[in-house]
Amino acid sequence: MRLIFINLFLLFHIALSFELIKPIPENLPVNDKKAQLGKLLFHDPILSKDKKVSCFSCHDIYNKCGTDHRKFSKGFNGLEGTANALTVYNAVFNFRLFWNSRAKDLKEQVFFVLQNPREMNISKEEAEKRINSHSFYKKKFKEVYGVNYVTADMIADAIAEFEKTLITPDSKFDLYLKGKVKLSPDEEKGLKLFKRYGCITCHNGINFGGNSFQKFGAVIPYKWKPYFPDRYQITKKEYDKNVYRVPSLRNVECTYPYFHDGSAKTLEEAVRKMAYHNLGIELTDKETMYIVKFLKTLTGKLKIK
């Protein structure tokens, strides 16, 4: 009985969070000057305590699809974080940020990273001091924001503006949605399975995820560790253990390794584990192959302005 109640609750929750799948737009409206300034800051280790770590250290936007391809990222002083890095690409479309959604938007997210002792480990005051005593940045901020004193808020604002440009339009799947290309027969089969088995109940909306909280282990429980950033860390409610903001599946082909704990090295492994833990299904080799082929159609163009 209890099981039925929980499942009904889950289904209700999923039904509420279902959104239609839409293509990634070609561009978003951005303030180019702010974005260009944000781009410089994104790459600059000036914003970390030891001046060795920048956003780019863990979010390689040129070769690693906005991640670092490590199980856990290395930040300040080479310290390992306690979660697998999420990609910065298309992050602007996620309803909240981080695995447990502790940041409400891109701007707030920057403050978390700067102050994280395992990431950049710098206070807001120190960040402001560094930028204000840097003649180049001081001049740039004056040009763009028209101010003589740069605040931490403006630093975060510029970086967030740059992140809005990190979107990946024109994936094969988006071109298919627009009626411009056909999927191959294998990709079609993968898409059908993705819908029929119910992957789409949690991975939907513009990002194929990023718009709801769900449990890893909705059907067959997954091991829980207290240090991973799940919803439990925020709510302290038992049922929030192993509940995460669903990650986006856009560009998932190249954001390995997978899961909050980086435990799945390949996409095949991630798909199998998902089907098992979240749907109670053991996929065959063929089904896994079809779904993976479909997921690879979600790789878009990495456009960097």
- The residue assigned the tokens 């039925």 is 4
Nearer to ligand HEC by C-beta: 173 or 258?
258
8 A C-beta contact, residue 78 and residue 118: no
Instruction: Return the residues of window 222-251 that contact ligand HEC according to CB under 6 A.
Output: 229, 244, 246-247, 249
Nearer to ligand HEC by C-beta: 146 or 292?
292
Nearer to ligand HEC by C-beta: 22 or 178?
22
Do you find a cis peptide bond into 257, omega within 30 degrees of 0? yes
The answer for residues whose C-beta is within 8 angstroms of residue 64's C-beta and 6 or more apart is 254
Residues in binding contact with ligand HEC, number by CB under 6 A: 50
Nearer to ligand HEC by C-beta: 78 or 179?
78
CB of 26 to ligand HEC, least distance (A): 21
8 A C-beta contact, residue 152 and residue 124: yes
Under the criterion CB under 6 A, does residue 275 sit at the interface with ligand HEC?
A: yes
Q: Please give the Cα distance from 96 to 101 (Å, whole number).
A: 5
Instruction: Return the residues of window 193-222 that contact ligand HEC according to CB under 6 A.
Output: 197-199, 201-203, 214, 216, 218
Under the criterion CB under 6 A, does residue 122 sit at the interface with ligand HEC?
A: no
Nearer to ligand HEC by C-beta: 97 or 206?
97
Q: Please give the Cα distance from 105 to 160 (Å, whole number).
A: 9
List, as own/partner pairs, every contact residues 169-172 make where C-beta atoms lie below 8 angstroms and the sequence separation is at least 24, other chains included. 169/23, 169/24, 169/25, 169/26, 169/300, 169/301, 169/303, 170/24, 170/26, 170/300, 170/301, 171/24, 171/250, 171/251, 171/297, 171/298, 171/299, 171/300, 171/301, 172/297, 172/299
CB of 107 to ligand HEC, least distance (A): 10
Instruction: Return the residues of window 45-84 that contact ligand HEC according to CB under 6 A.
Output: 53, 55, 57-59, 73, 75, 81, 83
CB of 249 to ligand HEC, least distance (A): 6
Choosing from 35, 86, 150, 298, the residue that interacts with ligand HEC (CB under 6 A) is 86
Contacts with ligand HEC, 12-51, as mask; x by CB under 6 A: ----------------------------------------
Tell me the Ramachandran region of residue 134: left when phi exceeds 0, alpha when psi lies from -120 to 50, beta otherwise.
beta
Choosing from 99, 137, 232, 290, the residue that interacts with ligand HEC (CB under 6 A) is 99
The answer for residues whose C-beta is within 8 angstroms of residue 3's C-beta and 6 or more apart is none
Residue 181: what residue type? Answer: V
Encoding tokens for residue 127? 């960040």
Under the criterion CB under 6 A, does residue 131 sit at the interface with ligand HEC?
A: no
Residues lying near ligand HEC in the complex (CB under 6 A): 53, 55, 57-59, 73, 75, 81, 83, 85-86, 88, 91, 94, 97-99, 106, 109-110, 113, 119-120, 159, 197-199, 201-203, 214, 216, 218, 229, 244, 246-247, 249, 252, 255, 258-260, 270-271, 274-275, 278-279, 291
